[in-house]
Structure 1
Amino acid sequence: MTEIVAGVRVPDSAIARAATQLVRDTEDDLLYNHSRRVFFWAALTGERRGLDYDAELLYLGAMFHDMGLTERYSSPNLRFEVDGANAARDFMKSYGVAERDIEDVWTAIALHTTPGIPEHMRPTIALVTAGVEMDVLGINYHAFSHEHRHEVCACHPREANFKENIIDHFAEGIKKKPETTFGNVKADVLALKDPNFKRINFCSIILGSAWPA
């Protein structure tokens, strides 16, 4: 049966169903529900902005965006966003998805924690970040109706301590490769959660480089 939440229809294609099952089997409840909410916030944002987006690609971007935090898809030395993007790419290739569409989903996931850039790109890329920003940071919270917020969260609940627990999930997913947080927002996570974390300083790298001047 077609699933509709807050007026948003969940894609019911073979690849979307397989993605749902894979994420459900890989992520815990917090990340799975978060990923599903991201899709609804993203789709509602797209409708509010009048964007012509591909719901299936948006769904894949939303569902895979945090897969790099899981042990199964985490690499030893890549940003978790790239790990998730690579997982989505490999999954989509197995279904014969067009390269341009794979590139959009890959980019949407890889850039979803890099503010100020995705919003200027194609709809799939812009909207995945918008969905993440709504669910994690509350950006544009009041642009969504109370009814839509209630319906989405009734289907995919935010647990009582979601704010603290999502930060814990971020920390757990990146603590073994702190160098990957250089230049992105996840450095703030380790600064909060890891007392031994030392930020890499951009200016120190410049001043300490091999260039004589």
Structure 2
Amino acid sequence: MFPVTPAAEAALSVATRFCSPALLNHSIRSYLWGARYAAAHGIAFDDELYYVAALLHDLGLTEPFDSNKLPFEEAGGQLAWVFGVAAGWPAQRAARALEIIVLHMRDDVTPADDPESHLLQVATSWDVSGRRPEEFPPDTRAQILTRYPRLEFGAEFLACFEDQARRKPGSAAAASVNNNVAGRIAANPLEGDPPA
């Protein structure tokens, strides 16, 4: 189900150590939604790279790694670069983890241009705000939510974004708050999906 490599196992350890239970489950769900979406659409991707990026993508929202100046995705991306190099990855591979994390908060990336960034965009926008519900059938939702429940994720995530928006008004998080991310989170079908 998950890649079994030293870097993947270390990414899970890091995310478990620094993320709240709700944020950790969101990170794991982001990997799973993206992997399922890729399988359904025949998108080839680097499984380890995508897993590491998914597990680390929101570390910039956590207190130990929240930057006073950088948007959370840039702070988290820089941390992923450090993580990758420390895990023994070539600098270019570590830079890809940084890029995927930064791009997940930017305009849509096509799977042909960057499959891992595309998958993280699709997965996180589904998990946070319910975008593309037709891509994730009820049985898939129930299976993933049963194993990795939301744990009040919507409220916690919204609070993080509102905090980022107050302190970093030029950030993508601030733009999301200004574009009614609160309403999208509230309307997300996953917020009302109890595990089957």
Query: Which residue of the partner structure matches residue 157 of structure 2?
Result: 166
Paired residues, number: 181
Q: Does 1:186 align with 2:174?
A: yes
- Helix, strand or coil at the partner of 1:179: coil
Q: Does 1:17 align with 2:43?
A: no
- Of stretches 162-171 and 123-132 in structure 1, the one that deviates more from structure 2 is 162-171
Instruction: Tell me if the contact between 2:29 and 2:144 (Cα under 8 Å) persists in the aligned partners.
Output: yes
- For residues 125 and 178 of structure 2, what CA distance do their matches in structure 1 show? 19
Q: Cα distance 1:119–1:186, how it changes in 2: closer, same or farther (>3 A)?
A: farther
Q: Does 1:142 align with 2:130?
A: no
Q: Does 1:45 align with 2:37?
A: yes
Specify the structure having the higher radius of gyration (Cα).
Answer: 1
TM-score normalized with structure 2 length: 0.83
Q: Which runs of 4+ in 1 moved over 4 A?
A: 190-193
- Helix, strand or coil at the partner of 1:63: helix
Provide the identity percentage: 26
Give the superposition deviation at 1:155.
0.9
Q: Where does the alignment leave 5 or more consecutive residues of structure 2 unmatched?
A: 182-196
Letter in 2 for 1:187: A
Alignment of 1:37-76 (within 5 A): 37-76=29-68
Alignment of 1:114-133 (within 5 A): 114-117=106-109, 121-133=113-125
Give the superposition deviation at 1:104.
2.1
Q: Where does the alignment leave 5 or more consecutive residues of structure 1 unmatched?
A: 1-8, 194-213
Letter in 2 for 1:32: L
Q: Does 1:177 align with 2:167?
A: yes
TM-score normalized with structure 1 length: 0.77
1:9-55 CA deviation, whole Å, 9 max, x = no partner?
Answer: 11121111111011111010111010000000011111112111111
